[in-house]
Structure 1
């Protein structure tokens, strides 16, 4: 540690981690270190495009990271909260005064027989590249099965079908469960127009995956030369492995200011945070504001001030349907889908704008830390929802 400044370490270089790291450089008396296992920023919302070969989904960190942030390309094996020290996978250690925990999420480990061996997940850069290589190794008319009816499954199925692939989308239940029924019907019509066979409903659960087929719970067997597994996301177990309390999925339990319930010098952000045991939807839409709020919390703590509670709300969900169409499902601040949606080419243009604007937003915060504002996403109803369910997180004074 540097005795002349406050050392802040951010674990995870995704949307939340980069936002937090950039914003922390507002103070001249802090040093900020970002620890990430890759030397490039991954545009995770484009991984389905990487798999289809329509985008590389990576950006040089020099384009999105403030020059004052030190990048350490490594993984964290364990957090020693008592010593305020990180044990790195390379064998070294890294001390900190404050820690921002932004490890993100990844594809969940599938419990279905054969899925881990023969399925291709799509939760990381390495996953997407492996899937792309598998698709390149198959003829254009080879049967492809995408498992999972959420946004990643829908986007992947549409992207591949638009290229002429024979795609079957097995939803495991309902197509687009987040969507309003009107939005769901719109997505179903577009997928049908692309030639995607959608299998949903009670019999649409996968019972087993083989090298050349997928067997459904109702006994049907689908030919599949490449099976893409998008059913669910999990969280790295670093927090639990380090003795910090988590929710059932492994997200770090925090109070409403994003401070860990176990340690007032650890603050969480992004998909790996569970404030009051009521986490926000895993999404890029939430990651940026959560990263910004985590940074603001740390800066308050460094200044000896009391941090403010998170008040993040949502505006909707945007799903691409290939390069020529999409859907923007409007939602209330509480993340409940509304009847209105935007579709077709306008939604495709909006999704591409969001993808580009997200990277530009990171770069803007790197150039002028503290400039990003999220007033558009404020949700005043969260305190009432927390009170209604009863917080699972113990309150923290957040003053050290």
Structure 2
């Protein structure tokens, strides 16, 4: 009898769970998912955890296929040459193929005082630590949210809806991804909730103290609780393990999501940088990249050539408290267009997206390989070809 092919998936987020589930469609594959937590984290609900309306976790039994072995531990090193990973508890796990899906987290803010006095919320534990701090703060306490991407906007709105005194410091434009029409809608709803929005030039944070956030234009914003949502970073596991990464630390891969260093290592989700042209971080790309990573592994097992990655976007959805939201529509290449759905319908669509994302994970667990109907961006290969054609010209000019 032929032995099973051992596949280890490092990271149990959206991409990792989808990859592990997809792998179970073929007999003879033993799948081990290694994750530091015993429950699945709904990162798109972490602002609700901070606001107290959701715990942002789901039992793995609801989203993970029965055939996947879950190991609750942290991988500290990947030994690509020896095909094994070292665990924080001291053990090791061998593999024939490894899927690198460690996700993303809070970035080092590189702003004086921010690491000491500001509270990040990109990880479950960070949001859990912040919740009691907010509960113990007076209702009149000044709360400052730094960062005007989805996490910042959602957190500011969630807390303002609870009659908190919230200032949103954008460091530039409010909702950079949004079309100007969508941005105006978000600004209107935030104003309705009582959020003070500081955007435009001069609003980059230069320092954070225990009770003040200082801006580039010299303003000092009073802040008894400062929440930091500006930027994301990725774990340095790949770099520490001697694998090639981009400037942010994402594993560098080709268009089949295979590491440029090792054909036995593939990557998905926020921690992957295919062709040095990574996709926008988030669950929308992760639930597509996860299955495609698994398909790359299955193709290599069968001696077939893996297909190039193909991901498409529909837009970006942002909640504005529990009673409003916005869905900013986009082209498949992730470029925002003028159409959006806002207000109460936007809130309903946002909640539908949150619920359906968990449903997708469970569906893949029950019927691995059945779902293939994501929208695809047909322009990526053309963009890559154009960049490659431009590269020698640019290099020649530099010389």
* TM-score (norm. length: structure 1): 0.96
Question: 1:114 maps to which residue?
Answer: 113
Contact 2:46 2:121 in 1 (8 A): yes
- Number of equivalenced pairs: 391
Instruction: Note if 1:66 corresponds to 2:56.
Output: no
- Determine the C-alpha separation between the residues in 2 that align with 1:41 and 1:390: 39
Q: CA RMSD in A?
A: 1.4
- 1:82-138 per-residue CA deviation (whole Å, 9 max, x = no partner) reads 000101111111100000000000010110011000100011000110111110110
Please list every run of 5 or more consecutive structure 2 residues that lacks an aligned counterpart in the other structure. 391-399
Work out the CA distance in 1 between the residues paired with 2:106 and 2:370: 33
> Which aligned pairs between 1:349-360 and structure 2 lie closer than 5 A?
349-360=348-359
Q: Which residue of structure 1 aligns with residue 172 of structure 2?
A: 173
Match of 1:94 in 2: 93
> Do the aligned partners of 1:330 and 1:339 also contact (CA within 8 Å) in 2?
yes
| Alpha-carbon distance between aligned partners in 2 of 1:164 and 1:390, rounded to the nearest angstrom | 52
SS in 1 for 2:54: coil
Residue 375 of structure 2 corresponds to 377
User: Where does structure 1 lack aligned partners over 5 or more consecutive residues?
Assistant: 393-400
Aligned counterpart, 1:238:
237
The aligned residue for residue 265 of structure 1 is 264
- The CA distance in 1 between the partners of 2:134 and 2:388, in whole Å, is 47
Indicate the SS of the match to 2:374: helix
Structure 2-normalised TM-score? Answer: 0.96
> Displacement of 1:3 after TM fit?
7.1
SS for the counterpart of 1:267 is strand
The answer as to 2:136 corresponding to 1:137 is yes
Q: Residue 211 of structure 1: CA displacement?
A: 1.1
Deviations for 1:16-61, whole angstroms, at most 9, x for unmatched residues?
Answer: 0000001101111010000000000000000000000010000011
Counterpart of 1:49 in structure 2 is 48
Matched, 1:388 2:389: no
Deviation at 1:207, TM superposition (A): 1.0
Contact 1:145/1:168 (8 A) holds in 2: yes
Map of 1:257-296 to 2, 5 A cutoff? 257-296=256-295
> Contact (CA 8 Å) 1:276, 1:391: kept in 2 or not?
no
Aligned position for 1:206 = 205
Distance 1:391 1:346, change over 3 A: farther
Q: Distance in 2 between matches of 1:207 and 1:35?
A: 38
The equivalent of 2:5 in structure 1 is 6
The DSSP-based 3-state class of the residue aligned with 1:377 is coil
8 Å CA contact 1:277–1:391 kept in 2: the answer is no
Partners of 1:162 and 1:322 within 8 A in 2: yes
Where in structure 2 are the equivalents of 1:122-161 lying within 5 Å? Answer: 122-161=121-160
2:316 — aligned with what?
317
Q: Distance in 1 between matches of 2:167 and 2:319?
A: 17
Look up the match of 2:76: 77
Match of residue 226 from structure 2: 227
Moved segments of 4+, more than 4 Å? none
State whether residues 288 and 374 of structure 2, in contact with CA within 8 Å, keep that contact through their aligned partners in structure 1: no
**Structure 2 SS opposite 1:390:** helix
Residue 306 and residue 354 in structure 1: after superposition, are their counterparts in 2 closer, same or farther (change >3 A)? Answer: same
SS in 1 for 2:7: strand
Query: 2:194 matched to which residue of 1?
Result: 195
